[in-house]
Structure 1
Amino acid sequence: MEVMISIALRTLRHRRAGFAGAFVALLFAAALVTACGMLLETGLRGSVAPERYAGTPVIVAGDQFVRQTKAGGKSKAKPVSERRWIPASIAEEVSRIPGVTKVVTEVTFPFAGFTAHGWESAQLTPFTLAGGRAPNAAGEVVVDARNATAKIPGYRVVGVTAQALPSQDTIFFTTREARRLAGHAGLVTAIGVFPQVDVTVKGALAYTGDERGALEFLDAESARVKLISLGGALGGTSLLVAILVVVGTFALSLQQRQRELAMLRAVAATPRQVRKLIGGEALLVSVAAGLLGSVAGMLVGFWLQARFVALGAMPANLPLVVSPFPALASVAVTLVAAWTAARVSARRITRIRPVEALGEAALPGSRLPWARTVAGVVVLAGGVVLTIVLSSLSTEAAASPVTMLTALVWTIAVALLGPAIARVAAAVPPRAAGAGGYLALKNLRAGTRRLASVITPLALMTAMTCTILFVQTTMGHAGQNEVNAGLKADYVLGPGASAAGVREVPGVRAATEVLRTTARIGLEKFSVQAVTPDGLDRTMDLDVTAGSLAGFGTTSAALSRTAAERLDAGVGDQIELALGDGTPAVVKVAAIYTRGLGFGDLTLSHQLVAAHVDDPRGTVLVSGGDRAALERALPGVTVRAQAEAGEIGTSNAAVNYVAMGLIIAFCAIAVVNTLAMSTSARSRELALLRLVGATRRQILRMLRTETLVATVVAVVIGTGISLVTVTAFSVGMTGSAAPYLPPLTYLAVIAAPAALALIATVIPARFALRVHPTEALGARE
């Protein structure tokens, strides 16, 4: 083994260019796996330090989870989307606990971009005044030090605190005004307890340590759950892509060294020795690439965190967990992937007789090994099965990972059956003009293995890019179409308007208040719109297919067709659900409608939901009336025409673009890497062509023609894979077999791999053509 490692080291020293492609592929694979591992670990182990509650030893508040006990007594919990409030009377009970010296109640709610509280709770942090005084009247406020010059519409700033919290802008009202604005009579968000004592009360929980941070920043818990899902899905997809790219790169590298390996067999090297040599080379390259890639992956992880914070997908005060585990995992993964890829790629040359190896090196066979053919057919069948499964999935959480897996499985089938596809593709192109075109077509027909190695990364890049982009456009387009078809209102009013006040404006025929939130049925999350039923038929059309919205009341619910299928519920059925803050409710299904993408999975009563959301100020849909009259009657309220309401988007589109963009970038690197390796390895061939009279222009035209053919074939295959995948996704999610593919976006998508392919071909070719033909032929391979 030591002898083979020594030979492997010498081989690496003298064939650095030959192993550069494998090193690059492994390095970026390690970086991707490390970055995804950091996201996953942050989701599993990350925590948020308290800011506002940092000075309070114990916080008493509601349970911010919906819990369910499964069969066998196992309990599962999911975070609520709105803050759960508790009765203010609990403060008296807490104050009687032995050892408690002070109890402070507080209300927390959003207001004009601030986190708002009553002045009584300023002592929790504590906040002290740097100037001015505390608010004494309903129209007075105190702002934090960072917003000392802020103007608050309808209120007068009478004081500025000496402190400002790192990640939240704070404003204080009088205690009475804060509770009025919050709209939760008799309830508070939390109770601060001094000093730290054991607190046990009915209907609330005691939070200490980092638990206070999770209570203070509810979005941090949701972000952790999202990071677990995103890190796992992205990591799994990255791993499969990495394995596919690494296997392809090693296969191309060994294909270029086939003559050398055949010579080793001819001079009495046993198959085992050749396998050890190749495995040793793979181990050496993968260890170096894995170590460097894991360091690069940490930088990528921090970049992803910064982008997700900017997009609002995770809070800034949820720090990325940094530990050696993702780096160690990435090194192990790249090592195993490289070793397996090298051994699989060298399988044929180590199994045949030395004379056959030399003959195949001189004239590569075009026949596809039967094992590879069988594997390709099996994976192809797997792609069919996954496509069928995907077409039956109607939730984004379930469909998204299966979508990427489906596209990958189809691409793996293409990689396995690549030589057969390349033979068909090489036979199709018509006669090309000129000597360059003639040579290109002859090369394509003679070098189907090389063509197949180029087609795979190009097809992978096209398929992944199209799938990622067009899944989002399909969902957004379908939802927008439903909104456009179902929104009958003439105007959309921003927060601050009330339906009762709007109805008094001359000319207004109907006004509907709308709140957006979520609810859980069991532990499954559903999107919710809460509406006031009066005049609902004049402001929106949900396209009811069963039941009726007439007589829609506080305990009524309407379900989208998709939600009804998921719940196996129909008109007249009762449903137990947990509202946004976890409060249980029982509603009766009054109607089933089709426009769930545009208007939510569930439609509930505004009266039922308003008391269970952090901000009860939603939008108001108005039918009839005049814009100028509405603006005069509702000063400070945004009035938009229905056409100006803006387009809706899928919930995680931007986050998905950023995360999956890394995989697209990896695919792009694989394209450049493969083509550069393929072109650079042909220096002797190009030198011979020049010696027999071919000009540089003819050779470059030959290479461009070959690349163009490979790109066209790959784009067709990648587009086909994406079209099949996105169509199945569309069938399941929207009920339509017509996905939305913006033409200009598609043209940009196919232009990118074409440009990369041409650049990766022409630049190495120009360097190779600078060398004199005799020098190129005499150079060591």
Structure 2
Amino acid sequence: MLTLAGQTFRSRWTAFVGTFVALALGVCLLATTGLTLAASVAGTDRGPQWYRHADVVVAGPNTVSVTTGTGDERMTSTTGTAYSAPLPADLSARLAGLAGVAEAVPEHQAPIEVAGVAGIARPWSAAALGAYTGLAGGPPTADDQVVLTAPTDRRPGDRVPAQTSDGPRTLTVSGVLTPAAVAAGENPPAVGYLTDRAAAGLAGDRITAVALRAAAGVSADTLAERVRAVAPGSRVLTGDDRREAEPDPDSDALAIAASLLGTTAGVATFVSIFVVAGTFSFAVAQRRREFALLRTTGATPRQIRRLVLGEAVLVGLLAGAAGSALSLVAAPPYAHWLARSGFAPEHFTARFILWPLLAASGVGLLVALVGAGVAARRAARVRPVEALREASVDHRVMGWGRWLFGLLFLGGAAVLLAVLPNIGVSDGLALVMLVAQLALTAAGLLAPVLIRVLVHLLGAPLRGQVGTIARSSALRALRRTSATAAPILVTVGLAATTLALTATLWQSEQQSARDRVTATAVATASSPVGLAEPTVTALREVTGVRAAVPSRQTEVYVDSGDYPEEYSARYVGAGLDRVLRLPTVAGSIDGLTGTDTVAVSSSMGWRVDEQVRVWLADATEVRLRVVAVLADSIDLDRTLLLPWELGRAHPSDGGADVVYLDGGDPAALGDAAGPGGGRVSPALDHLVAGDAEQYERNRVALLAVLGMALLYTGIAIANTLVMATNDRRRELAVLRLTGATPGQVLRMIGLEAVLVGLSGTALAALVAAGMLAGLKARLTEVVAQPEITVPWLPITLVAAGCLAAAVLASLIPAALALRIPAAQLAAVRD
């Protein structure tokens, strides 16, 4: 049968072009996302920069763990944290006295902005450990001096403004260091070297690392073993691992890229499987007459299946190689676009990595075998006479399997849809995609039933012989109609469901947040340093100010029972209820004071006075008492409110990113905030501007996720319609021989394509409408007056593009076929 498959492939190669194109482009889509995802996960391969000349670096832990079970069933789940925990204050002195240590340099780090450039303040003693090519000027000798790192336009002797965690300062540039990374063309984080005393003061005397130099004759590995015995629980780093104690300027961007590309890979896998499986199934269904003839000549069902699977293997191998090669061309431009859009580091690119290509080719081959195998099983199961009859008219398209799995996928989409309001847009993009995929898969499985109804309704206005033939043709060949409408369904459906669901969630989330704010104005930080305590105090002392409440975004990790789960959190100052309308259902927000309290939403299941285990962003474990429980709300769900005093004790994030203000003259507030790097604006203007910026970022993120997938499905629409039209050449000849003119035949083909396109679009609209109705019903529980938001323009453009592709892909091959004389065309073999 494999020999026969090869012969069939050679003799009917034009029939395999459609499946080859679908599979090759599907593999290309998978491999392209796989290559960029692999590049984002691989991260940077740079060596240590700050600690190039240190033999061992000791840093605090940057993970949190939860252990469950006992004995053989004991399991530990670990999650990385945003920052490292501080080291004990006496650890540097203990390590300095350790045998084999020539020098121990304690590291203090704090955010700083010098001359408008955000960076990190470090002690000058740590500079000797780094990779630098030269110093212009001299070291800092006074607490108001700073050494900057190149590139900078500042020179020794310049007086520069600075924003620090202690407030605004004016510093004198004593020197400029050139990092080796800059000389090599890299872009390391900016550093401001201060005196050791000044750096320790800005860091609140927190030690972030201790760098050690080994004495003569002592190896780094030997010293590391001695250090581990003295500093249990700390990270002891040697070799290239020393860079883990340094801030990675690309880490946040790489994490965003990895998250976005993970979602993109999921969407790519879905559309590839959907399109490739449907195309193979359709291609096999087109050849039922051929299989029927093979059955009449004695071929067994097993031989039919082997024949089809053999053909699928041949097509799969060739298409996998072609798609993988094409992805090597497509991946770098896609990676560069991600970098230009701010979703990846500046120099992010994709390069040749073998495993994504092998994985994409393997998935493509597997999908080809499954798609062809399912269709072949049905074709091989019928008796020869039934197969001949079934080759002309579709009788039974829906089997029990399609009903069962269609309803199961639909139920899964409904269940996940109910969870969406508890997550929101920022964290729920992947879930939105999954809901859309489940709903569209259900619609695809149930399409034969739904398409029949839609064709009747949409085709009712068609009059005349041409319109009647187009409608009856679509209804008679229901399998073909469903197969050609499927890529339109997935293309329009993906665009409509994801864009409408995310827009509705976003609008509800932002409207809820705007309704919650009662502050008259807000002061926001213009740099990552934030607004320091002196600036907050200055705002609070402005005449007429009734409340000035600082707030800072952070993240925490909660013991969920099986693993440490990351949650959003905000440190907030006293008087929060004066600037925000908080829906407290138990306890009082006034109790959010000290360093051991927390306020949570009711969805977390905690009760007032309950003690909860929480890890802060710097991996510090704390036990907090619940003092207030807030009603479920889309903008506060999965958010913990922490007391400002706790944030002061853990200043890794810097100062306040926003200060909510009640009362006060705007001009006086601006004068108070300006020296500290703050901007004052009306609360509503600030929220609207922030909403617009974040919405645009979400829109571009959706484009990154959907862009290539929609391009692929758009090509799949044309590919499927070309396959379907080419298969109807004898039908076109019969119409010509019965007296139809070429114009009438083309109008019939065009009307049927429009009917199929509108049916696929209508089915996608039904899916989107159902999802939106379910989302709105769920939103009424967490939003006062939820509104459905549909971005009509992009959805309409996608639908119009799909319809145009369907019509052109039907008319062009039909017009080419009609150029052949009707008698000759009627003699063409099926």
Q: Displacement, 1:699?
A: 3.2
Q: Displacement, 1:726?
A: 5.0
Distance 1:748 1:594 in 2: 40
Given that 2:332 and 2:351 are in contact with CA atoms closer than 8 Å, whether structure 1 keeps it comes out as: no
Distance 1:318 1:573, change over 3 A: farther
**Who is 2:137 aligned against?**
132
| Partner of residue 654 from structure 2, selected from 612, 616, 622 | 616
Asked if residue 747 in structure 1 is aligned to residue 803 in structure 2, the reply is no
Q: 1:348-401, CA deviations, whole angstroms, 9 ceiling, x for partnerless residues?
A: 33222323322332x2232235xx234323431442244135414634699665
Report the TM-score when normalising by structure 2: 0.84
Given that 1:129 and 1:161 are in contact with CA atoms closer than 8 Å, whether structure 2 keeps it comes out as: yes
**Who is 1:638 aligned against?**
679
Given that 1:531 and 1:604 are in contact with CA atoms closer than 8 Å, whether structure 2 keeps it comes out as: yes
**Who is 2:11 aligned against?**
14
Q: Displacement, 1:513?
A: 0.9
Distance 2:238 2:313 in 1: 49
Q: Displacement, 1:619?
A: 1.8
Asked if residue 412 in structure 1 is aligned to residue 441 in structure 2, the reply is yes
More displaced, 415-424 or 442-451? 415-424
More displaced, 72-81 or 236-245? 236-245
Q: Displacement, 1:62?
A: 0.6
Asked if residue 387 in structure 1 is aligned to residue 406 in structure 2, the reply is no
Distance 2:723 2:172 in 1: 69
Q: 1:198-239, CA deviations, whole angstroms, 9 ceiling, x for partnerless residues?
A: 222336321123433333246877778777776666545543
| Partner of residue 343 from structure 1, selected from 373, 376, 395 | 373
Q: Displacement, 1:719?
A: 2.4
**Who is 2:68 aligned against?**
70
Q: Displacement, 1:678?
A: 1.6
- The letter for the 2-side match of 1:52 is W
Distance 1:31 1:217, change over 3 A: farther
Distance 1:132 1:688, change over 3 A: farther
Distance 2:28 2:456 in 1: 39
Distance 1:759 1:231 in 2: 33
Look up the SS of the partner of 2:752 in the other structure.
Answer: helix
**Who is 1:426 aligned against?**
455
Q: 1:506-540, CA deviations, whole angstroms, 9 ceiling, x for partnerless residues?
A: 33222111100011111111111111113x23322
Q: Counterparts in 2 of 1:435-474, with a 5 A limit? A: 435-474=465-504
Gaps of 5+ in 2: 162-169, 215-219, 526-530
Q: Displacement, 1:30?
A: 2.1
More displaced, 412-421 or 73-82? 412-421
**Who is 2:549 aligned against?**
512
Distance 1:508 1:696 in 2: 81
Look up the SS of the partner of 2:372 in the other structure.
Answer: helix
Q: Displacement, 1:75?
A: 2.5
Distance 1:422 1:486, change over 3 A: closer
**Who is 1:484 aligned against?**
514
Asked if residue 179 in structure 1 is aligned to residue 199 in structure 2, the reply is yes
- The letter for the 1-side match of 2:396 is R
Distance 1:155 1:779, change over 3 A: farther
**Who is 2:704 aligned against?**
658
| Partner of residue 641 from structure 2, selected from 586, 603, 622 | 603
**Who is 1:192 aligned against?**
211
Distance 1:724 1:218 in 2: 44
**Who is 1:722 aligned against?**
768
Given that 2:432 and 2:502 are in contact with CA atoms closer than 8 Å, whether structure 1 keeps it comes out as: no
Distance 1:490 1:758, change over 3 A: farther
More displaced, 246-255 or 58-67? 246-255
Gaps of 5+ in 1: none
**Who is 1:159 aligned against?**
175
Distance 2:521 2:197 in 1: 31
More displaced, 314-323 or 253-262? 314-323
More displaced, 499-508 or 691-700? 691-700
Distance 1:156 1:422, change over 3 A: same
Q: Counterparts in 2 of 1:76-91, with a 5 A limit? A: 76-91=77-92
Q: Displacement, 1:450?
A: 1.4
Given that 2:394 and 2:478 are in contact with CA atoms closer than 8 Å, whether structure 1 keeps it comes out as: no
Q: What is the aligned residue count?
A: 770
Distance 1:421 1:753 in 2: 19
Distance 1:422 1:67, change over 3 A: closer
Distance 1:170 1:385 in 2: 49
**Who is 1:533 aligned against?**
574
| Partner of residue 698 from structure 1, selected from 713, 724, 744 | 744
Look up the SS of the partner of 1:530 in the other structure.
Answer: strand
Q: Displacement, 1:64?
A: 0.8
**Who is 1:260 aligned against?**
290
Asked if residue 589 in structure 1 is aligned to residue 608 in structure 2, the reply is no
**Who is 1:629 aligned against?**
668
Distance 1:319 1:665, change over 3 A: closer
Report the TM-score when normalising by structure 1: 0.89
Distance 2:815 2:313 in 1: 33
Give the root-mean-square deviation of aligned CA atoms.
3.4
Given that 2:539 and 2:669 are in contact with CA atoms closer than 8 Å, whether structure 1 keeps it comes out as: yes
Q: 1:285-332, CA deviations, whole angstroms, 9 ceiling, x for partnerless residues?
A: 000111222333455555555455555555568987964333223222
Q: 1:467-490, CA deviations, whole angstroms, 9 ceiling, x for partnerless residues?
A: 322332233212211221111222
- The letter for the 2-side match of 1:186 is D
Distance 1:81 1:652, change over 3 A: farther
Given that 1:45 and 1:321 are in contact with CA atoms closer than 8 Å, whether structure 2 keeps it comes out as: no
Q: Displacement, 1:769?
A: 4.1
- The letter for the 2-side match of 1:764 is P
Distance 1:187 1:596, change over 3 A: farther
Q: 1:489-515, CA deviations, whole angstroms, 9 ceiling, x for partnerless residues?
A: 222222236221112223322211110
Q: Displacement, 1:437?
A: 2.4
- The letter for the 2-side match of 1:747 is T
Distance 1:477 1:76, change over 3 A: same
Look up the SS of the partner of 1:580 in the other structure.
Answer: coil
Distance 1:312 1:86, change over 3 A: farther
Distance 2:673 2:317 in 1: 67
Look up the SS of the partner of 1:457 in the other structure.
Answer: helix
More displaced, 90-99 or 111-120? 111-120
More displaced, 58-67 or 428-437? 428-437
Look up the SS of the partner of 1:375 in the other structure.
Answer: helix
Given that 2:200 and 2:206 are in contact with CA atoms closer than 8 Å, whether structure 1 keeps it comes out as: no
Distance 1:610 1:763 in 2: 70
Distance 2:494 2:617 in 1: 35
Distance 1:324 1:744, change over 3 A: closer
Distance 2:465 2:406 in 1: 40
| Partner of residue 123 from structure 2, selected from 103, 113, 118 | 118
**Who is 2:50 aligned against?**
52
Distance 1:156 1:758 in 2: 70
Asked if residue 98 in structure 1 is aligned to residue 131 in structure 2, the reply is no
More displaced, 307-316 or 109-118? 307-316
Look up the SS of the partner of 1:101 in the other structure.
Answer: strand
Distance 1:219 1:391 in 2: 38
| Partner of residue 546 from structure 1, selected from 583, 586, 602 | 586
Given that 1:468 and 1:660 are in contact with CA atoms closer than 8 Å, whether structure 2 keeps it comes out as: no
Look up the SS of the partner of 1:494 in the other structure.
Answer: strand
Look up the SS of the partner of 2:132 in the other structure.
Answer: coil
Q: Displacement, 1:341?
A: 1.5
Distance 1:639 1:348, change over 3 A: same
Distance 1:560 1:301, change over 3 A: farther
Q: Counterparts in 2 of 1:366-385, with a 5 A limit? A: 366-368=395-397, 372-385=399-412
Distance 1:181 1:20 in 2: 70
